[in-house]
Amino acid sequence: MTQYILRRLLYSLPLLMGVNILTFVLFFVINSPDDMARMQLGQKHVTEQSIANWKQQHGYDVPLLWNNQALGEEQITHTIFYQKSVGLFLFRFGVSDSGRNIGADIKERALPSLAVALPTLLVGLFVNICFALLMVLFRNSYLEQAGIVLCVVMMSISSLFYIIGGQFFIGKVLRLVPISGYDDGFSAIKFMILPVLIGVFSGIGSGVRWYRTLFLEEVEKDYVRTARAKGLTETQTLFRHVLPNAMIPILTGVVVVLPLLFMGSLIMESFFSIPGLGSYTIDAINSQDFAIVRAMVFLGSVLYVIGLLLTDISYTLVDPRVRLS
């Protein structure tokens, strides 16, 4: 397995390089370093000299990909692409165009993102699986039909509605929790109740339908019939046989998103004033802060690669037939 993991990690290097090149090209097709300087320097009293100064200070005064003025290897190394990319592979994200250390910012913001996303995922998973199993238990009945209709209705409502409705009812009318905010340590819990509740609730419609489909695929298989023939109750059959065998597709969906939980959710964090990573990339795109965009896209790619690898490894844990080679 170690060899497999090493091989997969090595495969990811050209992939990450490709993502980096793509980000670089896409960003600079739209924005020139001059545009970036103008955006950072504001609207008042911006002169050509101040733009030149800014570019020189931030290392944007060299060519993008190839330096004709330089000699030898410096033709490559004295370019924006080389100088801004090498550090990424060592997880040195450098300083944002507005002057803050990106690595320190990411460290600071990752935890609040995780504090909301992880409980939302776990509680959501539990609730969705429970409801999906109940629907499978009551399959071919009016209860199941009603459940499906309810799920479709819940799926059709925008998540924004859940957020605004939840804030209005629980935060404003009932005044049971703060409407938004965040704090450190245990004090954060009271701020997490509402976003987690809304996150779980808004995901029930699609989640339950997805897991129901997975369980229904399993529930008619021969081994389930055998289990029933042995005299197991339907509940025992569902929990002891159907659920473990439906774990592979569940894991595919869950493990792959685990690393991405660090990246947060834009809308959730924005409405609940959670200082996470969700809005970090969007804010950077809006302010044309290439250093942050590049770092966040790279980090997202790394986390996705890790997620896929973890998924493969988890297969071996839930299905003894799967071997990594």
CA distances, 142 to each of 95, 134, 138, 149, 227 (Å) = 59, 13, 8, 11, 26
Among 167, 245, 265, 301, binds other proteins (CB under 8 A): 167
Best CA proximity match to 21, nearest among 280, 302, 299, 297: 297
**114 contacts other proteins (rule: CB under 8 A):** no
Q: CB-wise, 187 or 213, nearer to other proteins?
A: 187
Q: CB-wise, 12 or 113, nearer to other proteins?
A: 113
Among 98, 145, 158, 226, binds other proteins (CB under 8 A): 98
Contact window for other proteins (CB under 8 A) among 5-13, 91-99, 198-206, 302-310: 91-99
DSSP 315: H
- List the interface residues with other proteins, window 177-236 (CB under 8 A): 177-183, 186-191, 193, 228, 233-235
Q: How far is the CB of 298 from other proteins (least distance, A)?
A: 18
Q: Where are the alpha helices (DSSP H) in the chain?
A: 2-30, 33-41, 48-58, 74-77, 80-89, 102-137, 142-156, 159-166, 189-219, 222-229, 234-237, 243-245, 247-255, 266-271, 280-286, 290-318
Q: Are 132 and 208 in contact (CB under 8 A)?
A: yes
Q: CB-wise, 213 or 236, nearer to other proteins?
A: 236
**127 contacts other proteins (rule: CB under 8 A):** no
Rounded to whole angstroms, the Cα distance separating 30 from 26 reads 7
**103 contacts other proteins (rule: CB under 8 A):** yes
Q: How far is the CB of 106 from other proteins (least distance, A)?
A: 11
Determine the 3-state secondary structure of 101 from DSSP. strand
Among 22, 86, 153, 164, binds other proteins (CB under 8 A): 164
CA 240 from centroid of its chain's CA atoms:
31
DSSP 276: S
Best CA proximity match to 191, nearest among 203, 182, 202: 182
Q: CB-wise, 38 or 78, nearer to other proteins?
A: 38
**159 contacts other proteins (rule: CB under 8 A):** no
Q: Are 116 and 264 in contact (CB under 8 A)?
A: yes
- List the interface residues with other proteins, window 4-63 (CB under 8 A): 30-32, 35, 38-42, 44-50, 53-54, 56-57
Rounded to whole angstroms, the Cα distance separating 304 from 311 reads 10
Q: Are 190 and 178 in contact (CB under 8 A)?
A: yes
Size of the site for other proteins (CB under 8 A): 69
Q: How far is the CB of 12 from other proteins (least distance, A)?
A: 27
**315 contacts other proteins (rule: CB under 8 A):** no
Among 2, 29, 90, 99, binds other proteins (CB under 8 A): 99
Q: Are 191 and 182 in contact (CB under 8 A)?
A: yes
Contact window for other proteins (CB under 8 A) among 125-133, 245-253, 270-278, 295-303: 270-278
Among 27, 138, 201, 210, binds other proteins (CB under 8 A): 138
Q: CB-wise, 78 or 139, nearer to other proteins?
A: 139
Q: Are 292 and 96 in contact (CB under 8 A)?
A: yes
> Which residues are near other proteins by CB under 8 A?
30-32, 35, 38-42, 44-50, 53-54, 56-57, 95, 98-101, 103-105, 108-109, 112, 137-138, 141, 143, 164, 167, 171-183, 186-191, 193, 228, 233-235, 270-273, 275, 279, 283, 288
